[in-house]
Chain A
Amino acid sequence: MPPLLTLSGISKRFDSGTLAIGRLDLEVAAHEFLSLVGPSGCGKSTALRIIAGLLKPDAGTVAFPNGKPEMGFVFQEPTLMPWQRALGNARLPLDLKGVARSEGDDRAARALKRVGLSGFEKAFPRELSGGMKMRVSIARAIAAEPKLLLMDEPFAALDELTRQALNDDLLKLKEEDALTVLFVTHSVYESTYLSSRVVVMTPRPGRVAAEVALAPPPARDENWRLTPDFTQQAARVSAALRQAMVAA
């Protein structure tokens, strides 16, 4: 089965002269949960933006062998429109695609319900907590029923309990919608908990330093985080990250 996405020889230098990505080769299989980890400034977010078509690479190609899938994007910040209620924010991609208002409302309300925000449709972002705002952001990303979900450190600013709850919700959404998730994070533990594969990047200019295949249990919960199995898998990711830093 061909991969969902292939990056071949991607490099990117910003106008400031900073070489963000040296040469990046990466394949992402359909339905996998792939985490990109690496030190700050190694080009993880840049790679995500290139895949989304928001940045043009200087060299290399982004290919979707099965055709370009519907994509959703979740940023580190919730990035909501403060003048729109939660429902209006979740409905944004549907509005832009010309979906009829009533159908858009229904689908956005369903997306909000799936992220646990039923009853908050009429709330403005400023009336919501940080975790709830991030849930609206995820609802917006899934409202248009994407096949590929790109997430750029979405839970980095949240407290640990909220972060763990959102990790579990994300896994559930991934299973229900058969999503492919490309997840950027700094956290070894988060990447271990969520992913079936972790790609470790070198410090700038970013390229792939190592790939760590993980074997998470079919059903994950907080108890798994306390097991030796989880610790061992996290240790492998951590060792790969440390090695990438030393090698650089």
Chain B
Amino acid sequence: MKIGLIAFVMIWWATVSVAHQLLVFAFVEDGTVIVETKFSTGKIPVSGDVRVLDAQNAVLMTLELQSDGTVQFPLDPALSAQGLLIEVATGEGHDNYWILTPDDIARATKETQ
């Protein structure tokens, strides 16, 4: 009985861990890049690493995800001229990314002017 329960919990945990996905979204507002994350279940990740890369895949900075599942950083026009790739990895082994192209950034900058 006990073994059966343990097996059930292990199977349930494995199922849960593969069935939800980390969702990443990033946008520019008032000169700030805002990164927001959540799991497809609606749950907010409370920790994780955020890597910001340029168009050549060079890491520009690494930030820690805040407890509300977001992180912000100032937009550097020089570094972001060719766009930004935002990668997020959470402690649960989930990762995903969002691409901000030069057009995305320019459009957002124009909207907030």
Determine if chain A interacts with chain B: no
Identify the A interface with B (CB < 8 A): none
Chain B interfacial positions (CB closer than 8 Å to A): none
